[in-house]
Structure 1
């Protein structure tokens, strides 16, 4: 019996890489829920194992019979609009989708959240609930509810860090669109230092990881996580990212890539930053203020290497090379 996968958000940046990866590595039957099928740039016209379901997640009840018959569900879709839309999509309808799964048939339910709602120990961050934007608070609420739901024993929540990706055949991530703009100013940026750190991850490596999770027995996944000294209790929480980068390491690597020398650097310490904000009367939302004060967004991460797979983009230099290759 061919296994069945239900996917939302396939027309997004990560979704494109994921569909390509599943098509190349499995013979599974894919059900793609798409608001606008024209946005899917992958030609599936000769793929009888791909079924396009034209519709919105707001109408997820129309697909309850399909959801009750699938072996895997992968929910990447999310909304960033008005408060009502954000909570309807990111909480209520996402919960409804997972609620239609048959716990006796479904092997894994994979939910895409965001690393912003977790602390450095991969535990939920209270500030995300109290100070977060609508998007952040909706992701916090949905995770909490799904981890208490009937599908929790099959639930794998993934938390992408800063996502890079996109090319002429795939939409670019928000970070990719801004990253090359920042790189243009490396001639100036190289003169500054700052105490902060973060993780990056390429959408192609997210797709590699998700494909592995779908194809691999749950006990084997847990063994790999245990070997990496990562939590492997269900429901799983997996933060997707490359190893931690400090801002100063990133500046040095970008400067080297663009043949710019690093010399004297001015330290942008928190006191100076706060003074600039005050002098220029910069208005900041509560979540922006929290993020500025936090500065270090680092986690216990997984990537293809965790599972014995060679990452396609294992370093910042790899990512910069890709960004240059796909530049307009």
Structure 2
């Protein structure tokens, strides 16, 4: 990939920076890093001769039309939430504009980042994502629909990360922290309550370092991960480690913080409804659908193992270790020796 010119949108984000670093270490490609604030690009040497910063808003791609037209590969991680108008402009309209500025004869691959939340267990689009989803979920589902019928669909690869961890829990590392990693400290504050219940739901997670590895392989490797049962025009890859239950995750956190586990009650649907009523929690229609669905598992999933690699973080313990979350202090029973 010596002559490759890889355009990476959202390059200053958690996944974006891990991916940029992987490409700098493992390829000879030139990187076009599209960012809004250069100060947030903390892990990249801005003076690297292989790096060119494109400072601007993803909603105005015309500013960089020359750079976009000459890109041989694109990794589109930029996204938005927190408002219907902004989410639509960034997650749907901006993607169409970006694709329209690419040269079909120059472009080799376009890796589009979505979210596993909009897919069912067989990697088919969930109708409920468009019906009940938040503005983020709905716009991601709408964009996927559009991409399936786009003239460049034969060059698009869609990746769907599951729960993403990365960086340090206190944002002190060289990489930005993902929202889930930032939330680990807050999550431990609820362990006193969580240890009384047994969460039966299952889910996948993945570290941003492993996402970077997979993206790199999708660009440079001819290896093909297992195919899914999904009916689609563009390849879909859900990025995650083998599923585990919420109960297993709670046990790992309790052990990490050296807290005891008591007799736990199965967290049935009616109990969740009671907790939602009692605790200061606001839920949406999408939240209620998710509670009813319970399990968030997919088959197949993709991680470094599918490309002959080794995962950076395959277990929750490794996630906690790399996050820098402090361990609980071990409690020792006082031993009183008899007087001589």
TM over 0.5: yes
Cα deviation, 1:236-287, whole Å, max 9, x if unaligned, reads 1111111101111212222233333434112221122223445679653211
Cross-structure match for 1:133: 134
Could you list the structure 1 runs, at least 4 aligned residues long, displaced by more than 4 angstroms after superposition: 229-234, 278-283
5 Å-filtered alignment, 1:1-328, equals 2-167=3-168, 168-217=173-222, 220-221=223-224, 224-226=225-227, 234-278=233-277, 283-300=282-299, 301-324=301-324
Cross-structure match for 2:337: none
Query: Cα gap change, 1:317/1:85 in structure 2, threshold over 3 Å: closer, same or farther?
Result: same
User: In 2, Cα distance between the equivalents of 1:326 and 1:182?
Assistant: 13
Cα deviation, 1:7-27, whole Å, max 9, x if unaligned, reads 100110111101111100111
Alignment check: 8 A CA contact 2:148 2:232 kept? no
Query: Cα gap change, 1:184/1:279 in structure 2, threshold over 3 Å: closer, same or farther?
Result: closer
Higher mean Cα deviation, 244-253 or 13-22?
Answer: 244-253
Structure whose CA Rg is larger:
2
For these two proteins, the number of residue pairs brought into alignment is 321
Cross-structure match for 2:331: none
Unaligned runs of 5+ in 1: none
Unaligned runs of 5+ in 2: 328-340
Query: Cα gap change, 1:305/1:326 in structure 2, threshold over 3 Å: closer, same or farther?
Result: farther
Query: Cα gap change, 1:326/1:306 in structure 2, threshold over 3 Å: closer, same or farther?
Result: farther
User: In 1, Cα distance between the equivalents of 2:230 and 2:263?
Assistant: 42
User: In 1, Cα distance between the equivalents of 2:267 and 2:83?
Assistant: 35
**Aligned to 2:59, what secondary structure does the other structure show?**
helix
Alignment check: 8 A CA contact 2:123 2:230 kept? no
**Aligned to 1:58, what secondary structure does the other structure show?**
coil
Cross-structure match for 2:332: none
Alignment check: 8 A CA contact 1:36 1:54 kept? yes
| Structure with the bigger percentage of helix | 1
User: In 2, Cα distance between the equivalents of 1:281 and 1:28?
Assistant: 49
TM-score, with normalisation over the residues of structure 1?
0.91
Higher mean Cα deviation, 244-253 or 107-116?
Answer: 244-253
Alignment check: 8 A CA contact 1:180 1:323 kept? no
Instruction: State the Cα distance separating 1:2 from its structure 2 match.
Output: 1.2
**Aligned to 1:42, what secondary structure does the other structure show?**
coil
Query: Cα gap change, 1:23/1:231 in structure 2, threshold over 3 Å: closer, same or farther?
Result: farther
Alignment check: 8 A CA contact 2:17 2:44 kept? no
Query: Cα gap change, 1:315/1:64 in structure 2, threshold over 3 Å: closer, same or farther?
Result: same
Query: Cα gap change, 1:42/1:256 in structure 2, threshold over 3 Å: closer, same or farther?
Result: closer
User: In 2, Cα distance between the equivalents of 1:45 and 1:117?
Assistant: 35
Alignment check: 8 A CA contact 2:204 2:297 kept? yes
